[in-house]
């Protein structure tokens, strides 16, 4: 697989994350709470990863490695917890825009770690992504009124922890098989999430009442696919490029909201989605141009004609 194929895995993982909010809205209409569905997401996602790991990858992991991966999982849980608290205190459009600050935070993390100034294409991409996020999130053109300070802090913390998760996912346990790595990260994350949000759904009858359907779908789209694909792709593309690709989550969220919950999307929001895709494409186009062979090179066989 070349770098563009690894980038595609990150893109798919980000889009998978983007569908979650609409699925949760559908579940809420059936009477389930966000904490119940989030808990179900981790239980089913963790169980699926356990089964796949036992089938495809039984390699023994050194204690130092799995402890490090459990710690990486804490960054995953931080995003879930902080973003949930931000949504409680802020309009959804503001909360999602704050979360999506992970794009430039991730690029800065990579630049600081590598002691290298971000490339021009990444800087241009980030500027376009920020503008696209403001439009797609519905912030531009609307009056939001005064914002809750703690909500803003929670939103920025969710962005920081998501960028940190992408960063460490690409640098910790790079020699560990993807199934093992994903399983241990999800284990660390799940412990934190279930300690913050009550696991009462496991015994109060909610699973039998239909929560299992949402837990299974959310487990696949919110844990299995993105965590596994990020574990495979992040070490190959780098956290900076990964953060830019991760911006695909917002367009996926908007499209899912139209298809699943029939929400109205304004023309400015569609323009924002287009800008986000342009911002995502810029570093990839630059990379593909670097890799493509010169057109003037002749095939070896032609040289003998």
Examine residue 305 and state whether it is found in any structural domain, yes or no.
no
Residue 193, φ and ψ in degrees, nearest 5: -60, -45
Examine residue 297 and state whether it is found in any structural domain, yes or no.
no
CB within 8 A of 2, min separation 6: which ones? 291
CB within 8 A of 125, min separation 6: which ones? 244, 279, 280, 282, 283
Per DSSP, helices labelled H in 118-211 are 120-136, 149-169, 178-196
79-114 b/e (C-beta count within 10 Å ≥ 16 → b): bbbbbbbbbebbbebbbbbbbbbbbbbbbebbbeee
User: Three-class SS of residue 152?
Assistant: helix
Examine residue 299 and state whether it is found in any structural domain, yes or no.
no
Name the nearest CA neighbour of 9 among 289, 284, 288.
284
Helix axes 212-219, 34-56, angle to 10 degrees: 60
**Whole-number pLDDT of residue 169:** 80
Model-level pTM?
Answer: 0.79
Which DSSP symbol is given to 300?
Answer: G
Could you please report the per-residue DSSP string of 230-296?
HHHHHHHH-HHHHHHHHTTHHHHHHHHHHHHH-----HHHHHHHHHHHHHHHHHHHHHHHHHSPPTT
Examine residue 98 and state whether it is found in any structural domain, yes or no.
yes
CB within 8 A of 201, min separation 6: which ones? 35, 36, 39, 40, 207, 211
pLDDT tens string for the chain (305 positions)? 577 788 889 989 888 888 887 888 888 888 888 788 888 889 999 999 999 999 887 777 788 888 888 888 888 888 878 887 787 777 766 777 788 888 888 888 888 888 888 778 888 888 888 888 888 777 666 555 566 788 889 888 988 998 888 888 878 877 888 888 889 899 988 888 888 877 888 888 888 888 889 899 999 998 999 889 988 888 888 777 788 888 888 788 878 878 887 777 778 878 888 888 888 887 766 555 555 554 444 444 444 43
Each residue's pLDDT tens digit, 276-296: 888 888 776 655 555 555 444
Each residue's pLDDT tens digit, 231-280: 888 888 877 778 888 888 878 887 887 888 777 777 887 888 888 888 88
Full residue range of the structural domain in which residue 101 is found: 3-289
Residue 234, φ and ψ in degrees, nearest 5: -60, -45
Examine residue 114 and state whether it is found in any structural domain, yes or no.
yes
Examine residue 50 and state whether it is found in any structural domain, yes or no.
yes
Task: Please give the tally of structural domains in the chain.
Answer: 1
Examine residue 298 and state whether it is found in any structural domain, yes or no.
no
Examine residue 301 and state whether it is found in any structural domain, yes or no.
no
286 CB-contact burial (10 Å; exposed 0-12 / middle 13-18 / buried 19+): middle
């Amino acid at each position: 697989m070349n770098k563009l194929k690894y980038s595609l895995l990150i893109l798919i993982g980000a889009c998978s994350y983007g569908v979650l909010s609409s699925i949760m809205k559908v579940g809420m209409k059936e009477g389930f709470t966000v904490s119940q569905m989030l808990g179900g997401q981790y239980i089913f996602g963790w169980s699926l990863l356990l089964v796949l790991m036992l089938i495809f990858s039984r390699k023994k992991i050194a204690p130092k490695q799995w402890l490090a991966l459990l710690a990486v999982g804490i960054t995953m849980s931080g995003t879930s917890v902080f973003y949930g608290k931000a949504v409680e205190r802020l309009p959804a459009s503001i909360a999602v825009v704050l979360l999506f600050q992970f794009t430039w935070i991730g690029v800065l993390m990579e630049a600081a770690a590598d002691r290298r100034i971000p490339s021009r294409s990444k800087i241009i991409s980030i500027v376009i992504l920020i503008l696209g996020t403001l439009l797609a999130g519905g912030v531009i053109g609307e009056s939001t009124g005064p914002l809750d300070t703690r909500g803003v802090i929670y939103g920025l913390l969710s962005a920081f922890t998501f960028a940190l998760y992408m960063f460490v996912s690409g640098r910790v346990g790079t020699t560990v098989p993807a199934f093992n790595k994903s399983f241990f990260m999800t284990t660390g994350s799940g412990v934190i999430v279930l300690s913050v949000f009550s696991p009462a759904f496991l015994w109060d009858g909610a699973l039998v009442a239909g929560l299992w359907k949402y837990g299974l779908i959310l487990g696949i789209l919110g844990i299995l696919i993105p965590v596994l694909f990020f574990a495979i792709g992040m070490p190959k593309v780098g956290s900076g490029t990964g953060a830019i690709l991760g911006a695909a989550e917002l367009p996926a969220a908007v499209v899912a909201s139209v298809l699943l919950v029939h929400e109205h999307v304004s023309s400015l929001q569609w323009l924002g989605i287009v800008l986000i895709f342009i911002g995502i494409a810029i570093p990839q186009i630059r990379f593909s141009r670097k890799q493509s062979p010169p057109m003037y090179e002749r095939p070896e066989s032609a040289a003998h004609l």
